[in-house]
Chain A
Amino acid sequence: MIRYQDGSLEAFGEIYAELASGVHRYLSHLTGGSEIASDLLQETFLQMHRSRAAYNPQYAVRPWVFGLARNVFLMNRRAARRWARIQEAREDLPEFAVLPEADRLGSQDEIRRCISYLSPDQAEALLLHHEWGFSFEEIAGMLGISAAAARARASRGMADLRVALNSLQRAGT
């Protein structure tokens, strides 16, 4: 990031290669699996470029870029026209890698379905921690909550996910 701030195009390419996939998955989750996630991904990196001076080398790059992606998502959600399209796309379940911890609890499709039943706050904290590996302190900074609240959301999310998976599997048998 420091090389990028010094004007290296290659450094930008490296940051993109390192983070684009994870940020895209995160945006897919936020947008409910909509194709808009790809547009938002480009906007996130464009915003990152325009705001590269706002980055301080003491920040960890990954949470900073994920936080920026969340910011881009929220700004775009405020634009009603696009948000309407996201709402239409909610019919399709968002696709993201299944949580390693939950993998043994059910199939990918079941887990995706059950995550969509969780409250958005719980699902986001759960995925940020278990899927993208952020610490609770980093999640707290991204969401504007305390680390304890981030931990509680992820933990409740996991508990609710287990309950939902059990119910789904019982209903299936």
Chain B
Amino acid sequence: MIDPSPKPPEALMRAIAQDLRPVKPSPLPLNLALRMVPLALLVSSVILLAIGPRHDAGILGPLLTWGASAAQFVLAIMLIWIAAHESTPARRLPRQIVCAAAVSGLLVVVFLTLLTFWISPASEPVLRVPPIVNELLRAKPWIMGFGCGIGSTLAGGILVLLFSVIFRNSLATRPAEAGALYGAGAGLAINAGWRIACPVSTLWHALGAHGAAIIATVILGALIGRFIGNRRLHIRINRS
């Protein structure tokens, strides 16, 4: 094996010289994750600002309403922090930590859904909308399911797209996995706000509609992560 010359090849130097504009160093993974907090808070609280907290918030109590959502939000930011680590060469976290965080996210959502249903099994939509709309939603509960599913998927999708801009320089070894992690973070953050506003506690609604939205954001994140990774793969130097 011949060691490469200590001087970079000309083709490489030409490619480098073409773009030497000064760049701003990327923040550390924790700072990157913390920078996303206001963005995630803003998007996840849109539904809450639009229709207000659920009518049975008093029965659930502040701990299960706001406290549980706050904990879920913190977990979402933790997933984004892990995704930031995964996107940085030589800063990856052990796989056990990554898997434990992903499984924790899943378990927290299921646990909070079950606990909420157990304490207040609200099955009828009571929203601050004209009574005729509430009547319609009561007669056709699947509309509420679709509304929550599509609405939280859209909100999660917006957040994933915003995260993707921040993660565009990701250097993840497994780009789809890193994307899925920040997708999961976005999904959990949106769900943290959505669960305070949505008046339906039934399991099929909470797990089916809200859960499907989280899965959709995970898939969207994975696809975008993969796209970012593939785009890098197609960069080739013009060898001469």
Binding site for B on A (CB under 8 A): 2, 5-9, 12-13, 16-17, 20-21, 24-25, 28, 33, 38-39, 41-43, 45-47, 49-60, 63-68, 70-71, 74-76, 78-79, 94-96, 138, 140-146, 149
Contacts and interface: CB of A to CB of B under 8 A. Distances in A.
A74 B173 contact: yes
B138 interface: no
Interface of B: 1, 3-9, 11-13, 15-17, 19-28, 86-96, 98, 169-173, 229, 232-233, 235-237, 239
Contacts of B15: 46, 49
A53 B24 contact: yes
A143 B92 contact: yes
Given A7-B22, A16-B6, A76-B233, A70 B89 contact: yes
A119 to B, nearest CB: 17
Contact of B25 (A5, A71, A76): A5
A144 to B, nearest CB: 4
A157 B26 CA distance: 36
A56 B4 contact: no
B169 A51 contact: yes
Nearest to A139: B90
Given A47-B232, A144-B93, 6 more contacts: A9-B16, A12-B8, A25-B3, A53-B169, A95-B1, A140-B92
A58 B28 contact: yes
A45 B16 CA distance: 9
Contacts of B13: 9, 13
Contacts of B173: 70-71, 74, 144
Given A20-B8, A75-B232, A25 B25 contact: no
Nearest to A74: B173
B89 A64 contact: yes
Residue of B87, B98, B172, B232 with most partner-chain A CB within 10 A: B232
Give the most central of B25, B88, B90, B93: most A CB within 10 Å: B90
A20 B237 contact: no
